[in-house]
Amino acid sequence: MKAFEFDEKMFADLGETNIDLSQFSGPTNQYNGLYYADIYVNDTLTHQNQRIELATIDQEISFCFTQNILDELPLKQRDLKFSNTRKDNCPILTTDDPDIKINFSGQNNELHLAFPHKYIENIDTSWAPVSARDHGIAGIIFDYSLISSHDRRKRYGAYTSNKNLSSYGTVGANFGRFRVRADYQYSRKDSEGHFEWDKIYAFTDIGSLNSKLYVGELYTKSNLFDTFRFKGISLFSDEQMKPSYLRGYAPEITGLANSNAIVTLRQYGSVIRTIQVPPGPFSITDLPSGFSGPVDVTVEEDNGQTQRYQVDIANVPFLTRKGDIRYAANIGKISPLNNNKNSDYGNALSFDSSIGLTNTFSLLEGIMLTSNGKYQSYNLGLGMNLGLFGALSFDITHAKNSAYEKESFHGERYRINYSKRFFRYSTLSLSAVHSTDGYTTMQNYIYLKQNQTTRNINREKNRFTLSLSQNIPSISSSISLSISKNSYWGKNSSEYYNASFNKHFRTGYLDGSSITFSYSRNDAGYTQDKENRFALYVTIPLGKNSRNRVHYNSSYSDLTRQQSHDVTYYNYYNKNNFSDYFTVGTRAYRRPDYSGGNEYSLNASIDNTSRYGRVYATAEYAKDNQRATLGLDSSITITQHGIATNPRVYNDSARIIIDGGVSGVHIENSSAATNIFGLAGIHNVSAYYPLTYKIDNDNLPSEVEIQNSVFKLAVSDGAIAYRSTNPVTGGKAIVKIMLANGNYPPFGSMVYHNDNFEREISMVSEEGMAYLSGINKQARYQLKWGKEESCQFTIKQNDPESLNNIICQ
């Protein structure tokens, strides 16, 4: 970058003599010094907010490559030449290749490096390296779900009423790279309430190991053993922190809802997730990673009826790339069941790993021990990449349990996992498990240790799970199937099946419509009742490309002999990227009292997602049953910059706070917008991947001007990332500026807003005319021209006199 200056002759030819363009000219060394900037290599973000140094070498602006940055850049350094031209031995890149470009943008604080491909190591454009991750700022968080319901039902000729209130959520704080969290549960039925802290823990990530470290009250992280609760330390590798690696198994819970229902997932009594779902098949995939074992599912319909079933989360083949290792280590004190303090379970240690031996085989191994020697478990297995035939793993676990004083248990568990993706449209995964009579899990050990008088424990015998999905693009259809079968030693077996067919119409009168047929079978095992449920769902849009639609739902259960028919009108609307809808419908169904009579009901719901959270409400009225539900999912984040609000953040996810200065600044393609504190919260941000957010400049409030409208960043899990738009808030006006000597300031003089940011907001044109923004109660401005010439003036909001007589002195 050579020295530069602008020729003022053109303006002089136009008759303008009072000119100063020095603000736009200068020697090459005017940019010398230290900066904090984002570094891009071939337009890929590699370093975020990195301290860099610019220097003038042979009349050229050069970038000082410190050794730390050199080591982290994805460059083949053996093909590049460096010369130590600085006295402090800071290497300056020198090469004869003219295709290597270095460009620094002082306005955006970005350093762009362009290299031919031959100099570049493998680089993943959808992933951010450790140096490019934003670990956020300090702050306090409160993420919560609040659900209130009121029921009134007629039983045996009399009405009974119930009022329920429940809340689940997380409170916490961030300190640098460390996050502290506490999960809570609260439930209140009529006049009785119960509150408890579920987990209190802290965590951080270790970028150099691609791992996460958790400390506190936790559930063990494991890919080979079932989960249990403990107080201690958990260190485990996280695939999402690596580039170009396939993510591990994502637990999925599927089911059917006949109405606007509330689905609650629990594991060992603790709430994992609560969500409201519309009528039809549902799939919940955003569950915490590392969970394994049984999950209890409760589906509560808006007419008070409930479905309960259990889904076993089974791990898919635990494969690892050649030369790599994936692991999970846990150590700490075992937590009692139901907060029972009377038994000493001892401390526990567990470790499992997968080592990539070759491109085809991975070695699986694990160990789980208690400090008192009462429980021991060892695992050994092999994972195989079968190429076109999918992936397979086989492992054996031996367990010894001496918690029961009268008898000890010895046994083995044999497990096979298989996964296959067929072309682009089909996926299959299955798991088959057989356990001998004497095999027990850590949960069995904890239960026996606490209940010495019983041998009645759930000892798994066989477990089979299958999940199959098939897309058929040629007819715009899809088929899905899931099967879960479990049997136990000395107990009844349980089965759950779910199958569905979905068809979308793309042409003709039914363009945009869809039809779904679903079947499920639930045999809980502990009763003789088996339920077969059939359902049909039809959706028809009202007009081409319309978001408003009519929905028909029909279902039948052979257990309750209940059949229902629902017709619902959905009205979707979107204003300023806020998502909203309301519904109104009617239902006809056979009474559940076997009287053979029919009953009719009216129902309505509303759902609104805004900058302050998600609010939803449902109501149903029938002759003998009435129910109303009100829910709120929201997050509050408090930092040094103020209070940010947004829909709820789940599962230790990150959030981004954007400072817009005033309320009503919107983020493009998002429901996020600044609140009354001028802050916008973006929730559930994906970690370790570069993201771009843009301010909606077409719909800005009149009292703000945005200096930075595009943000590129990558965050770590749990981070509170902060970005400022550098807003200039206040009124706007076109004014005429005079100097103290009665002359006009030179054409090209720059106006700065003195609000501690030295913001350049305007340039003086002929005869002192300038466009000013940020006029508030006592706005101070600074005028600069020449090398060191400057003056200041003040404008008061709502004071016409101060606008008409501006003297800069």
Summarize pLDDT for 783-808 with one digit per residue, the tens. 888 777 888 888 877 777 777 778 89
Q: Is the pLDDT of residue 146 over 60?
A: yes
Question: Containing H/E element for 91?
Answer: none
Who wins on pLDDT, 183 or 153? Answer: 183
Most confident of 38-47, 330-339, 497-506: 497-506
Mean pLDDT, residues 138-150 taken together: 94
Q: Is the pLDDT of residue 17 over 70?
A: no
Reported as a single tens digit per residue, the pLDDT across 544-591 is: 667 788 989 888 888 877 788 888 888 877 665 556 778 888 878 766
Which amino acid does the sequence have at 794?
A: T
Distances 682 to 117, 240, 290, 545, 750 between C-alpha atoms, Å: 35, 20, 25, 28, 35
pLDDT of residue 682: 93
Backbone φ and ψ for 207, nearest 5 degrees, come out as -60, -40
pLDDT of residue 716: 92
Question: Containing H/E element for 10?
Answer: helix 9-13
Residue of 528, 623, 633 lying closest to 579 (CA atoms): 633
- What end-to-end distance do the CA atoms of the chain give, in Å? 36
Reported as a single tens digit per residue, the pLDDT across 391-421 is: 889 999 999 998 877 788 899 999 998 887 7
452: Cα separation from own chain's centroid: 43
- The span from the CA of 479 to the CA of 265, in Å, is 25
- The span from the CA of 481 to the CA of 60, in Å, is 65
Torsion 221-226-227-232 (CA) sign: negative
Are 649 and 143 spatial neighbours (Cβ–Cβ below 8 Å)? yes
Q: Is the pLDDT of residue 212 over 90?
A: yes
Most confident of 58-67, 636-645, 791-800: 636-645
pLDDT band at 231 (very low <50, low <70, confident <90, very high): very high
Are 803 and 793 spatial neighbours (Cβ–Cβ below 8 Å)? no
pLDDT band at 249 (very low <50, low <70, confident <90, very high): very low
Kindly state the tokens that stand for 693: 């957010």
pLDDT of residue 243: 66
Are 181 and 201 spatial neighbours (Cβ–Cβ below 8 Å)? yes
pLDDT of residue 246: 41
Residue 37's SS3 state is strand
Q: Is the pLDDT of residue 670 over 60?
A: yes
Who wins on pLDDT, 266 or 93? Answer: 266
674: Cα separation from own chain's centroid: 20
pLDDT of residue 340: 66
pLDDT of residue 457: 77
- Beta strands 33-41 and 110-114 are parallel
**470: number of Cβ within 10 Å:** 15
pLDDT of residue 115: 77
pTM: 0.75
pLDDT of residue 310: 75
**Radius of gyration (Cα) for the chain, nearest Å?**
32
Q: What is the DSSP letter of 527?
A: S
Beta bridge partners of 26: 4
- Give the whole-number percent of the chain exceeding pLDDT 90: 23
Least confident of 233-242, 297-306, 459-468, 683-692: 297-306
- Residue that is written with structure tokens 């200056």 in the block: 5
Q: Is the pLDDT of residue 487 over 50?
A: yes
Are 603 and 597 spatial neighbours (Cβ–Cβ below 8 Å)? no
Q: If phi over 0 gives left and psi between -120 and 50 gives alpha, with beta otherwise, what is residue 394?
A: beta
4: Cα separation from own chain's centroid: 47
**285: number of Cβ within 10 Å:** 9
Q: Is the pLDDT of residue 174 over 70?
A: yes
Q: Is the pLDDT of residue 123 over 90?
A: no
Residue of 166, 257, 145 lying closest to 615 (CA atoms): 145
Residue 389's SS3 state is helix
- The span from the CA of 537 to the CA of 69, in Å, is 57
Query: How many residues does the structure list for the chain?
Result: 809
pLDDT of residue 87: 46
Who wins on pLDDT, 733 or 717? Answer: 717
Are 385 and 319 spatial neighbours (Cβ–Cβ below 8 Å)? yes
pLDDT band at 175 (very low <50, low <70, confident <90, very high): very high
Who wins on pLDDT, 13 or 549? Answer: 549
E strands, 227-305, in order: 229-237, 253-257, 261-267, 270-277, 280-284, 293-300
Most confident of 516-525, 587-596, 754-763: 516-525
**Angle at CA 549, nearest 5°, toward 547 and 552?**
150
Helices (H), 400-520: 442-450
Residue of 736, 768, 763, 735 lying closest to 749 (CA atoms): 763
Question: At a CB cut-off of 8 Å and minimum separation 6, what does 155 contact?
Answer: none
Kindly state the tokens that stand for 320: 């690892």
- Give the whole-number percent of the chain exceeding pLDDT 70: 81
Residue 309's SS3 state is strand
- The span from the CA of 623 to the CA of 152, in Å, is 10
Q: Is the pLDDT of residue 693 over 60?
A: yes
Least confident of 241-245, 313-317, 720-724: 313-317
Mean pLDDT, the chain, rounded, equals 81
